[in-house]
Amino acid sequence: MKAQNMQHVYKKSILTKVFAAILVVMFATALVAQHRGDNLSFQGLSDKNEVSVKALAMGGALTAVSGDLSSLFYNPAGLSGIKQLQVSISSNYYNKQWRENQNYRPDRYFVTLPFYLEGLYIPLDSNNGKWDYQVVQDTNYNYIVQEPQLGVDPYSGEAADWMKNKSNVGLTNISAAMPFQILDEKFVGALSYNRNNNFYDFDRNDTYLNPHIGYLGYGGDITRVNGLHTMEMQWSRFLRQRFGSLSSVTGGLSYRVIDEIMVGVGANIMWGQSDDYQSLVRVGDFLLSNQQRFTFTYRDISQLLTETSKYKATSFNLSTVILLNRVTLGLKIDLPYTLSREWSYTQTDFDSSTTVATFSGTDKFKVPAIFNWGISFQPVDNFTIAFDYEYAPYSKATFELSSNDSSFNKWVNRNTIRLGLEFKAIEFLSFMAGYKSIPQTYIPDGAAIKDKGPDANSYSVGASLNLFFGRIDLAYELRILKYYDSYFSNTNYVFEKSSNILIGYTYAFN
CA dist 498 to 134, 198, 316, 444, 460, Å? Answer: 48, 10, 29, 20, 12
Grouping H, G, I as helix, E, B as strand and the rest as coil, residue 403 is: coil
Which domains, and CATH codes, for the chain? Answer: 2-508 (2.40.160.60)
Reported residue count of the chain is 510
State phi, psi for 355 to the nearest 5 degrees: -125, 145
- Rounded to an integer, what distance in angstroms lies between the CA atom of residue 142 and that of residue 308? 50
pLDDT at residue 200 in the model: 84
CA dist 310 to 105, 244, 273, 281, 339, Å? Answer: 43, 10, 4, 27, 11
pLDDT at residue 13 in the model: 35
CA dist 163 to 54, 153, 440, 458, 459, Å? Answer: 32, 15, 20, 21, 23
Phi-psi sector, 29: left (phi>0), alpha (psi -120 to 50), beta: alpha
Exposed (0-12), middle (13-18) or buried (19+): which is 501, by Cβ within 10 Å? middle
Got the DSSP string for 196-260? Answer: EEEEEEEEEEEEEEES-TT-GGGT--GGGTTTTS-EEEEEEEEEEEEEEEEEEEEEEEEEEEETT
- Rounded to an integer, what distance in angstroms lies between the CA atom of residue 156 and that of residue 116? 23
- Rounded to an integer, what distance in angstroms lies between the CA atom of residue 31 and that of residue 73? 40
Contact 96, 199 (CB under 8 A): no
E strands, 56-106, where? 86-104
- Rounded to an integer, what distance in angstroms lies between the CA atom of residue 293 and that of residue 227? 8
C-alpha neighbours within 13 Å on the C-beta side of residue 365: 22
**What is the value of pTM for the model shown?**
0.84
pLDDT (tens place) for every residue of the chain, 510 residues total: 444 444 443 333 333 333 333 222 222 222 233 355 666 666 766 566 677 899 999 999 999 999 889 999 999 999 998 999 999 999 999 999 999 987 777 776 788 888 888 888 888 888 899 888 888 888 777 778 888 777 889 999 998 989 999 998 988 999 999 999 998 889 999 999 998 767 888 888 888 888 766 555 445 555 556 777 788 889 999 998 888 888 999 999 999 999 999 999 999 999 999 999 999 999 999 998 888 889 999 999 999 999 899 999 999 999 999 999 899 999 999 999 999 999 898 999 999 889 999 999 899 999 999 999 999 999 999 999 999 999 999 999 988 888 776 667 788 999 999 999 999 999 899 999 999 999 998 888 778 888 888 999 999 999 999 998 899 999 999 999 999 887 766 778 999 999 999 999 999 987
Q: Which residues lie below 8 Å from residue 215, measured CB to CB, with a gap of 6+?
A: 17, 27, 31, 34
State phi, psi for 22 to the nearest 5 degrees: -65, 145
Q: How many CB atoms lie within 10 A of CB 191?
A: 16
pLDDT at residue 52 in the model: 87
